[in-house]
Amino acid sequence: MRSVILAILPILFIHAKCDDKYHEKRKQLVELELRMALGGNTTLNDKENIVNNCLMQHKFNELDYGFDNPDHYNLSHHFFNYRNQIQKSKVYKIIQSMPKGAVLHVHDMAIIGPDYFVNLTYMDHLYVCFGKPIKFWFSYTVPNTTCDGDWKLMKDVRKAAANVTQFDADLRKHFTLVCDNPDVVYPSIKETWTTFMGYFTSVYGLLSFRPNWEQYFYDALKLFRADNIMYVEVRSILPNLYELDGTVYDKIITAKAYRKTINKFLKDYPDFLGAKLIFAPSRKVDAKVLDSYIQTARHIKRDMPDLYAGFDLVGQEDLGNPLIEFVPQLLQAKDLNFFFHAGETNWYGTLTDENLVDAVLLGAKRIGHGYALAKHPALMREVIEKDIGIEVNVLSNAVLSLVKDVRNHPLNIFLSLDLPVVLSSDDPGAWEADPLSDDFYVAFVGVASRLADLRLLKGLALNSLKYSAMKAERKVRAIREFNSRWNDFVNHFDCKSY
């Protein structure tokens, strides 16, 4: 028996050495991928490691439960089905309390949730038109704007309601996409975008009333600040603001209203770092209208350089005109700083998909969404070499019918390759999400690697400042201020509080 054992031992030793080499190579590959990912080369200090240990313990608990109970894993379902459950997550609570840098992709009319708009309908001199979609307009007399029906005073309509509470609850539905059965209500992108565009039509008259516009954006900035955001770049079509007497202003006045509101907010909250405007009108126009857009952008840039950040074209990308149709004009306007929506589509090899090509060739500073970018290795290389920020909006892509299960969102590819990703929220008010924390949470738990940790969150926050349109010296100060707030966050962190 001893001779048999002695004969086997060398074989076992050889197998053990082979196993050691295999496991060592395996370990090296896993560690290499972690280092290659966004934030992978960041070194955490002792206090950051305390935060990270707590964060990852809670993250592993959530993911392990989901892995063992896939039917109960919230993030594989529609956001509307788990939206109210997020606040119970300890990972979410940690993310909410940490500084997150900036929001660089958000549309002005969809920042605050539906209750805000219901409250606006209690104002005097408001008329309502119950068409499809519903419209509102402030006026001393019956509005002469188009209406698919009759204009009626809102206070009279509400007074005539049998149940005012139910009336307001029904009214609220016009100011949100949220519903109880989203998979039935929104079977495809067509139904989703139809409702989405109806949302903007409904809130337009409420917000473009000049006094409301200024107060609304002030209140929106308060929400950003409360969500631990330091700076905002807001996209706007610059609606023509109006007064009760029927006076209608041009887009330059709207831009000035922005500047006025931002200056007031900074005076009231000097710890906020500021906000800038990206003029983002509709992409569904002809060349003549685009020329007028370009002239407006030049006017704002010239007269309000402190406010102006850049230029974009927006709307449902599949139905709008592709960038290639506007290339001659846009090549002559590259000084405007482009932040083009591009690649917000599931269609591969179409003109919509190729908006990514034109966005890169036109010198875009950042690309809005870039959802389809993972299908284009040459473009990804260009993005890395030219350091073009990718504004990723996970919840928007899920709600607006690009991806059903966020685990399949291409952001995981972008993160693994350390692309210049910036997380943002697009239209959070339209789906009753936080200004940014909900998107951070879903990206961190539902999209990123199970092993992605505090280094990723810190890297994403820093990216949002790095790829902002702030001037270089201002950017340096912003990053310094972020680091100060980050240190305050980790120095006062107590895991028992979560």
Residue 243: active-site member: no
The question of whether 391 is a catalytic residue gets the answer no
Domain identity same for 317 and 443: yes
Residues 127 and 142 sit within 8 Å (Cβ to Cβ): yes
Residue 381's CATH number = 3.20.20.140
Q: Peptide bond before 143: cis, by omega within 30 degrees of 0?
A: no
Q: Residue 361 pLDDT > 90, yes or no?
A: yes
Sheet holding 274-279, edge to edge: 102-107, 231-236, 274-279, 308-311
pTM: 0.94
Choosing from 344, 354, 391, 432, which is the catalytic residue? 344
Whether residue 18 has pLDDT greater than 70: no
Q: Exposed, middle or buried by CB within 10 Å (0-12, 13-18, 19+), for 309?
A: buried
Helix (H, G, I), strand (E, B) or coil at 316: coil
Asked if residue 190 belongs to a domain, the reply is no
pLDDT(182) > 80: yes
Is 251 inside any structural domain? yes
Look at residue 148 in the predicted model and tell me its pLDDT.
Answer: 85
* Burial class of residue 139 in the structure, from the number of CB atoms within 10 Å of its CB (0-12 exposed, 13-18 middle, 19+ buried): buried
Rounded to an integer, the average pLDDT of 308-319 is: 97
* Residue 358 sits in the same domain as residue 278: yes
Tokens of 164: 């005012």
Tell me which of 148, 175, 202 is where a domain ends.
175
4 has pLDDT over 50: no
Q: Is residue 52 part of a domain?
A: no
What tokens appear for 162 in the block?
Answer: 């049998």
Minimum mean pLDDT among 8-17, 215-224, 442-451, 472-481: which range?
8-17
Domain count for the chain: 2
User: Does the pLDDT of residue 1 top 60, yes or no?
Assistant: no
| DSSP conformation letters of 453-481 | -HHHHHHHHHHHHHTSSS-HHHHHHHHHH
Q: What is the pLDDT of residues 266-298, one digit of tens each?
A: 999 999 999 999 999 999 999 999 999 999 999
Under a CB-based contact definition with an 8 Å cutoff, are residues 104 and 424 in contact? yes
**Is the residue at 182 inside a domain?**
no
Q: Is 389 helix (H, G, I), strand (E, B) or coil?
A: strand
Together in a domain, 357 and 324: yes
Q: What is the pLDDT of residues 369-397, one digit of tens each?
A: 999 999 999 999 999 999 999 999 999 99
Question: 401 by DSSP, 3-state: which?
Answer: coil
pLDDT tens-digit map of 234-250: 999 999 999 999 999 99
* Phi, psi angle pair for 69, to nearest 5°: -130, 65
Which tokens hold the place of 187?
């079977």
Q: What is the mean pLDDT of the chain?
A: 95
- DSSP of 110-172: GSS-HHHHHHHTTSTTEEEE-SSS-EEEE-SS---S--SS-EEEHHHHHHH-S-HHHHHHHHH
Tell me the torsion sign for CA atoms 225, 231, 237, 240.
positive
Please check whether residues 283 and 216 belong to one and the same domain.
Answer: yes
Task: Say how many CA atoms lie within 13 Å of 87 toward its Cβ.
Answer: 5
Residue 104 predicted with pLDDT over 90: yes
Residues 91 and 129 in one domain: no
**β-strand pairing of 126-129 with 135-138:** antiparallel
Is 484 part of a structural domain of the chain? yes
Q: At residue 242, what is the residue type?
A: Y
Which residue among 158, 175, 192 closes a domain? 175
Q: Are residues 336 and 405 in the same domain?
A: yes
| 3-state secondary structure (DSSP) of residue 184 | helix
Please give the pLDDT value at position 23.
Answer: 87
Element (H, E) at 26: helix 2-36
Which of 277, 217, 285 is CA-nearest to residue 429?
217
Which amino acid makes up residue 472?
A
Residue 28 has pLDDT above 50, yes or no: yes
- The pLDDT of 393-404, averaged and rounded, is 98
Q: Kindly state the tokens that stand for 392.
A: 């990723």
Return the structure tokens found at 84.
């109210």
CA neighbor of 329 nearest in space, from 366, 368, 302, 358 = 358
Residue appearing with tokens 């920042």: 111
As a whole number, mean pLDDT of residues 402-419 equals: 97
The whole-angstrom separation of Cα 186 and Cα 177 is 10
Q: Are residues 129 and 259 in the same domain?
A: no
pLDDT > 80? residue 253: yes
Measured CA angle at 460 (ends 457, 465), to 5 deg: 135
The full length of the chain comes to 498
Residue 414 lies in a domain: yes
Neighbouring C-alpha atoms within 13 Å toward the C-beta of 355: 31
Residue 384 included in any domain: yes
Segment 317-325 shows an average pLDDT of: 95
Average pLDDT over residues 200-206: 97
Domain span at 125: 117-175
pLDDT at 8: 57
The mean pLDDT of 421-433, rounded to a whole number, is: 98
- The reply to whether 224 and 364 lie within a common domain is yes
| pLDDT at residue 17 greater than cutoff 70 | no
CB 32 within 8 A of CB 471: no
Same domain, 372 and 317: yes
Check whether residue 171 and residue 227 sit in a common domain. no
Q: Which are the contacts of 31, defined by CB distance < 8 A and separation ≥ 6?
A: none
Whether 149 contacts 130, CB under 8 Å: yes
Q: Position 28: which residue type?
A: Q
- 352 occurs within a structural domain: yes
The active-site residue, picked from 107, 369, 376, 409, is 369
User: Environment class of residue 218 by beta-carbon count within 10 Å: exposed (0-12), middle (13-18) or buried (19+)?
Assistant: middle
Is 348 found in the same domain as 406?
yes
Same domain? 126 vs 256: no
Span 129-173, pLDDT tens digits: 998 899 999 999 999 888 888 999 999 999 999 999 999 999 999
